[in-house]
Amino acid sequence: MLPDSVRIVEVGPRDGLQNEATIVPTPSKIEFVNALVDAGLTEIEVTSFVSPRHIPQLGDAAELAGALSPREGVRLSALVPNARGLERAREAGIRRIALFTAASDTFTEKNIGMTVARSLTVFGEVAHLALEMGISIRGYVSTAFECPFEGAVSPQRVLEVTEQLLALGADEISLGDTIGVAAPTEVERLIELLRRRVPLGRLALHFHDTSGTALANVVAGLSLGITTFDASAGGLGGCPYAPGAAGNLATEDLVYLLQRMGIHTGVDLGRLAQASAIIERTLGRRLPSRQLQRLGAASAAETRNRSATRGTSREAGGGDVAGDPAAGTPTRPR
């Protein structure tokens, strides 16, 4: 049985932009987030309150969060690494935080400088403070299928970390296929185990499309009753473990699939593509989302047809086509 509707957690402004080499200026980020809200996204992870030395791409966290005005029915969240980050997030008006750990020690040590156990101790304090402030908590369990350093990760280990994060007061756990290698059978095996101990409504799936399996994995999750999925507008972000390969599942591609399956998302695909176009312009390159490229090609063809019917044959055959953005579509850098 498939669900009637799905919640999408948009992670492009945080998970996407932190993995881009170019630092996007704050005004473009504000425009981007507002456009995502206009497209109908109601849960957006907007930034991370980490040290700008570690992630310069998100060095404007306080400025960005402070500039985004709250809108009815929209929840803007931010990742925080420690109590200091929590305090900065609270000052900037953030009411929901995300805590980031993983199911493998080597990954967390390289990524956040702590073992999984140590991260849960640190997050215990952060979670306690957050809940006292009335701030809600989402938890991430990264490397839920495979670790880039340790290889396969056991579902039992994912269950343990998930339960520990829930015990700290997180109301939702996002399980990440960090290196984008999982297949639907692995998603089934993991969810079958977790559902014995964790309510399905507390689980979200965060897929990367590095191996082209992200949407197949979404369908596996849907058929087991998962109704929350993370995605990144345009497929923003890339994969830090496979340079040039796709990373985060693109929100456009997820929305297209769900709409086509008759599952409600509340997101307008055309408006979402407009939001991603803001970032494409800033980065000066095409983003990998298939639907974004399809919509771009369709609107370019429409413009071409309109100008061909409007102009004389000479004008349409000469100047217009040469100036057509679709004619000179740049190849995406590898």
Q: Return the active site residues.
A: 239
Pairing of strands 146-147, 151-152: antiparallel
Closer residue to Mg ion in complex, CB, 248/289: 248
- Smallest gap from Cβ 11 to Mg ion, in A, equals 6
- Smallest gap from Cβ 100 to Mg ion, in A, equals 10
Question: What value does the CA radius of gyration of the chain take, rounded to a whole number of Å?
Answer: 20
Helices assigned H by DSSP within 92-154: 105-112, 116-132
For CA atoms 97, 218, 180, 20, the dihedral sign is negative
Closer residue to Mg ion in complex, CB, 237/296: 237
Closer residue to Mg ion in complex, CB, 60/177: 177
Task: Give the chain's end-to-end CA distance (angstroms, integer).
Answer: 40
Is the distance from CB of 192 to CB of 224 less than 8 angstroms? yes
- Smallest gap from Cβ 230 to Mg ion, in A, equals 7
- Measured CA to CA, the distance from residue 252 to residue 271 in angstroms comes to 10
- Smallest gap from Cβ 129 to Mg ion, in A, equals 26
Element housing 137 (H / E) = strand 136-142
* CA distance to 278, 308, 316, per residue, from 319 (Å): 27, 11, 6
Contacts to Mg ion by CB under 5 A: 15, 248
- Measured CA to CA, the distance from residue 268 to residue 220 in angstroms comes to 24
Closer residue to Mg ion in complex, CB, 10/15: 15
